[in-house]
Amino acid sequence: MSETIARLSSLPGVVSVAATALPPFSGAYGTSAITLEGKSHEREPSAVRQIVTDDYFKVMRIPILKGRSLGSPGASAAPVAVVSTTFEHQLMDGDALGKRFRWNEEWHTVVGVVPDAKQREYTDPEAPIFYVLNRSGGSFVIRTSVAPESLMPAVRETIVSQDRGAVVSRLTTMSALLAASIAEERYRALLSSVFGFSALLLSAIGIYGVLARNVTDRSREFGVRSALGATPRNNRLLVLGQTARLVSLGLLLGVPAALGTSRAIGALLYEVSPAAPHIFIMATAVLAASALGGALVPVHRAGPLRHIDRLQAGLTGPLTIALLQ
């Protein structure tokens, strides 16, 4: 395995290479029961295991927060491990360096602590992870300075030429693995966006229809107002003001109702609070804009002086004005 890593590292455009039993976002990960030295548990704790070579942290850009890395795969020293911060805090009381745990019938000494990293899916909650040395191969992770797709033929050829019995079942990029891991969430978000936009469009059309009918029914009123000196701008402002009052009333009733029901959608969100203030501010602004946008045409129709013509056409008899003294 070390020779294969060395040959892959020598390819033009390759920055660093490491091996792991299970690459992140590959759809699977291993969980193992462990025994903590000096602690007794009714039920043995478990943690996600990652079997990697020492350069794995460099390739994945996972910094060492405490201690050191795993060391050379060929080292003959006692088994060591690097653990995640969640492992340290949940299982080792916040201080993991130098402590030991037993896995696979061997006691491993913790020599380093790294930040939490996603393994199976991006939306999974943080779980305790321990990393141990990989001595038997598996999957290779490669960091490149060029487009990864351009190196795939050379990588395949290098692995096969190094080991004629090797089978390269899959060559892909980390971006593709990540996209596949959140494909279901993206589909849900797309459906929610389509339904939300449809509801917004229907509400705007409904507001337009109600106001258009209202303006038509009030044609005589606008004609009288115009005859008495009201300008088209006055008529438009009258309808716009009434619309704004209705929209404000709807928002005053709708926003508290939305806050009360936001907990129901909390499980569908990831790292987003359902009651985040900026989300409600944006939603309120969009709803208000769509409502006022649906009112633009009826408001415009309330302004022209043709309402006077309609008023005159609606008078069926002569108009008599009597002046009494």
Q: How far apart are CA 59 and CA 5, in angstroms?
A: 12
What predicted TM-score, i.e. pTM, was given to this entire model?
Answer: 0.67
pLDDT at 325: 44
Asked whether the predicted pLDDT for residue 269 surpasses 70, the reply is: no
Instruction: Please enumerate in sequence order all residues whose Cβ is within 8 A of that of 22, keeping only pairs 6 or more positions apart, or say none.
Output: 28, 29, 30, 50, 51, 119, 138, 139
Judge whether residue 324 has pLDDT over 50. no
Nearest by Cα to 170 from 182, 187, 152: 152
Work out the average pLDDT over 214-226. Answer: 77
Residue 73 scores a pLDDT above 70: no
C-alpha distances in angstroms, 207 versus 232, 253, 255?
21, 17, 19
Q: Pick the residue with more confidence: 307 or 285? A: 285
Place of tokens 């109600």: 210
In terms of pLDDT, which residue wins out, 129 or 226? 129
Q: Summarize pLDDT for 122-157 with one digit per residue, the tens.
A: 777 788 999 998 777 678 888 988 888 888 888 888
pLDDT given at position 283: 79
pLDDT of residue 115: 93
Taking the C-alpha atoms of residue 189 and residue 173, their distance in angstroms, rounded to an integer, is 24
Please give the pLDDT value at position 189: 82
Q: Which residue has the higher pLDDT, 259 or 271?
A: 259
Tell me what pLDDT residue 154 has.
87
pLDDT (0 to 100) of residue 26:
77
Among candidate residues 141, 120, 137, 138, the one with its CA nearest the CA of residue 129: 120
pLDDT of residue 83: 92
- How high is the pLDDT of residue 180? 82
Tell me which residue of 141, 139, 140, 145 sits closest to 15, measured CA to CA: 145
Q: What is the mean pLDDT of residues 80-98?
A: 89
- Of 23 and 273, more confident: 23
